[in-house]
Structure 1
Amino acid sequence: MTDRGTGGLSVVVAGGGSAGHVEPALATADAVRRLRPDARVTALGTERGLDTRLIPARGYPLELIPPVPLPRKPNADLARLPYRVVRSVRHTRRVLRDVGADVVVGFGGYVALPAYLAAASLRLPIVVHEANARAGVANKVGARLAREVLAAVPGSGLAGARVIGIPLREAITDLDRAGLRAQAREHFGLDPQAPVLLVFGGSQGARSLNEAVSAAVPALAEAGVSVLHAHGPTHAPTVEALPRSHPPYVPVPYLERMDLAYAAADVALCRAGAMTVAEVSTVGLPAIYVPLPHGNGEQELNARPVVDAGGGMLVRDADLTGERVVELVTGLVGDPDRLAAAAAAARRSGHAGADETLARTVLEVAAHRGGRTAGATGRNAG
């Protein structure tokens, strides 16, 4: 258990379970510490997903709590849900007391629901941020208990939510794509002059993107377009060797330096998860968004504001072919004025200051706790 320490504001961020929840939580934590260097920030997470790798690597103490996945359909897991909620809330209450929490900031996901319920039972103020176009169950519950509710885009389903965008790390919000371009292309072994298509489908890659790009590479190379392709850890695409006179095709399992990947690229081909859309638009990178073909249509909603503003295009997963990729990419990179206009529109659609906006909200909420600054100890939290 984390040592409570002495003095200083204690902020708890609850955003574990996936990168889409962890990254906004950590970006907010970074902004809190920039604004209040004396603040102590603790992250709640689970043993699932990326929590145990991403959170400690960013320098924040991680408290593991039992996850509370919410079943989408009636099944045996639904019958066990009340027990899981009670167990996780009890554990989370102990963590909040132990770290002397003054405010809890939730981002949805497996750890957010117990964090909200535990904070409410201790009468701690809650701030909720919804990154997706449609709020999940955890944030719908949290919004009813929160002092402040914020969202990435309008229409999230959370009444009265203030739209601020998604908190992003400074490596993205402060990225100088033009200034880093030469270094980034050298880093990946790309042609320094040829236009670059960046392809990625998340940490596991995306089969339909991989197949379409593999089919498109020869024609893209013939048209003078280089490709940086993050294909995922398995099923590396098979692409025939290109003539030396053509710009290179560079396949990689995973991109550790997304900042350099964005700097190297002229256009992206990607899914439309909330974090992906937020990062790609904030850095001013035109994109061809291919929303996941299942779910509730959330990914298309994530990308729609950027596309409507002229910063990207939408292609249905079923319509993605090698020929379509070649057509869209060459049409964009072959028209410098159109490419520049799309880049500017994408950047205008981003919210580069969301991290500090949310951090200031958190600090303001914590400052209005009736003058209390000691945190939620067992002595006064019940």
Structure 2
Amino acid sequence: MNTTMNVVFCGGGTAGHVSPMLAMADSLANSYQDTDIDVNILMIGTAEGMEATLIPDAGYEFATIEKVPMPRSVSLDLFSLPFRLRAAVKQARKLLREHQTQVVVGVGGYAATPVYLAARAEKIPVIVHEGNARPGLANKLAARFATVVACAFEDTDLPGAIHVGMPLRSEVAQLPMGPTMRDEARRSLGLDSDKTTLVVTGGSSGAQNINTAIAGALDDLLATGAQILHLTGRDKVITDGDGNRIDKPGYVQVEYIDGLSRVYQAADLIVARAGGGTVHEIAAIGLPSVLVPLPIGNGEQDLNAASLRESGAAVVVADEYFTSQWVATRLPDLLKDQARLEYMAQTAKNFGINDAAETMVRIISETKVAR
């Protein structure tokens, strides 16, 4: 006779929140694939976040609750906050009951707080996973009553937190590297298989400052003999002074690539933001990086990059200093220094954790309650 495991994952807003949810869900489903336990997974987010697209595309059941952001100043929104939060918690309690939920796993973001509070009211155990070095408000709240608090970074300041790493989807955690895969990946991306390759990405939405800095230093970068794959972000195109799309030998720009596995395989060096997911992916793979922390939020991206910077695995530069002049004077030497790139790659890999998703599955399996 089959038994059931009914799990709810909650959170979202950004791809950095959604990716670990999907990684945990994939690992959980795969772990019980050939057993007499039926795993039923529901994911709860908001209609406005990236989860509204990414989760259904991944094939998981998805439900939404109202977005309840914390107002940053005294306003009508602040005074209406308790009423909006109460309504969202009521929505979440209904979803948890209908799913006969045995455990809630949250990663933070707008949808997480109402679901955490709903789970507490329903006496359902809560597992928190914090993906940044500096925790967000939702996870700070839930950590006070959660059954288990797990974190991606070792020094995350949450009570009772255990360090497990960042849950990564199998296509990244088990990504094959090496010369053969590198050459195949480069050819599939329209690149020369024999050239040193710089990858630039500001995330799915792009990063205007990174784009501008790279565009202004293109000639200096290409003069090294390297080639550049530039992921500019959706609806962003790098143009010259006349407004024409820049088209130079050795420079390939695309707005977006679904899944970065091939991109990682192709790269000798990557320029990227320092989101928790990005930092852990490049560490797990062993990829040299120049990290440009996003200069908004609570400074978590700068903290995310700290370990790689201090060990020499990454160069970290503040967004305001990442200019065309900085790129032109610093990146060419780095691209030509093969010994340093190899050192950075190996040092990054020493920080990599590839089995965090499996660790979280063990925690979820041990935490669920009978319903």
Aligned partner of 2:125 in structure 1 is: 125
Residue identity matched to 2:18: V
Q: C-alpha deviations, 1:245-286, integer Å up to 9, x for none?
A: x5x100011121310011111101111111121212221111
Q: CA RMSD in A?
A: 1.5
SS at match of 1:16: coil
Q: C-alpha deviations, 1:294-330, integer Å up to 9, x for none?
A: 3332111000111112210111112212232244333
Aligned partner of 1:213 in structure 2 is: 214
Are residues 1:10 and 2:6 paired?
yes
The alpha-carbon deviation at position 241 of structure 1 amounts to: 4.2
SS at match of 2:225: coil
Are residues 1:34 and 2:36 paired?
no
Runs of 4+ in 1 over 6 A off after TM superposition: none
2:18 pairs, out of 14, 19, 22, with: 22
The alpha-carbon deviation at position 209 of structure 1 amounts to: 0.5
SS at match of 1:150: strand
Aligned partner of 2:113 in structure 1 is: 113
8 Å contact from structure 1 (residues 116, 145) kept in 2: no
Residue identity matched to 2:275: G
Aligned partner of 1:380 in structure 2 is: none
1:57-136 → structure 2 map (5 Å cutoff): 57-136=57-136
Q: Percent identity?
A: 39
Aligned partner of 1:256 in structure 2 is: 258
SS at match of 1:9: strand
Aligned partner of 2:354 in structure 1 is: 352
Q: C-alpha deviations, 1:99-142, integer Å up to 9, x for none?
A: 11100001000111111111111111110011111111111111
Are residues 1:237 and 2:238 paired?
yes
Q: Distance in 2 between matches of 1:13 and 1:165?
A: 18
Residue identity matched to 1:208: N
Q: Distance in 2 between matches of 1:13 and 1:53?
A: 15
Aligned partner of 1:54 in structure 2 is: 54
8 Å contact from structure 1 (residues 104, 126) kept in 2: yes
The alpha-carbon deviation at position 291 of structure 1 amounts to: 1.1
8 Å contact from structure 1 (residues 267, 286) kept in 2: yes
8 Å contact from structure 1 (residues 177, 264) kept in 2: no
Q: Distance in 2 between matches of 1:72 and 1:277?
A: 28
Aligned partner of 2:201 in structure 1 is: 200
Q: Distance in 1 between matches of 2:329 and 2:257?
A: 26
Q: Distance in 2 between matches of 1:241 and 1:358?
A: 45
The alpha-carbon deviation at position 155 of structure 1 amounts to: 3.2
8 Å contact from structure 1 (residues 18, 49) kept in 2: yes
SS at match of 1:39: strand
Q: Distance in 1 between matches of 2:267 and 2:296?
A: 28
Q: Distance in 2 between matches of 1:238 and 1:250?
A: 13
The alpha-carbon deviation at position 293 of structure 1 amounts to: 2.4
Q: Distance in 2 between matches of 1:98 and 1:91?
A: 11
Q: Distance in 2 between matches of 1:33 and 1:19?
A: 21
Residue identity matched to 1:323: Q
Q: Distance in 1 between matches of 2:54 and 2:9?
A: 14
Structure 1 spans left out of the alignment, 5+ residues: 1-5, 376-382
8 Å contact from structure 1 (residues 199, 229) kept in 2: yes
Residue identity matched to 1:352: N
8 Å contact from structure 2 (residues 45, 112) kept in 1: no
Aligned partner of 2:223 in structure 1 is: 222
Aligned residues between the structures: 360
Aligned partner of 1:191 in structure 2 is: 192
Q: Distance in 1 between matches of 2:74 and 2:286?
A: 43
Q: Distance in 2 between matches of 1:103 and 1:163?
A: 20
Residue identity matched to 1:15: G
Residue identity matched to 2:58: R
Residue identity matched to 1:187: S
Structure 2 spans left out of the alignment, 5+ residues: 241-245
SS at match of 1:288: strand
The alpha-carbon deviation at position 56 of structure 1 amounts to: 1.3
What TM-score do you get using the length of structure 1 for normalisation? Answer: 0.91
The alpha-carbon deviation at position 75 of structure 1 amounts to: 2.2
8 Å contact from structure 2 (residues 17, 109) kept in 1: yes
Q: Distance in 2 between matches of 1:290 and 1:281?
A: 16
Aligned partner of 1:3 in structure 2 is: none
Q: Distance in 2 between matches of 1:340 and 1:207?
A: 29
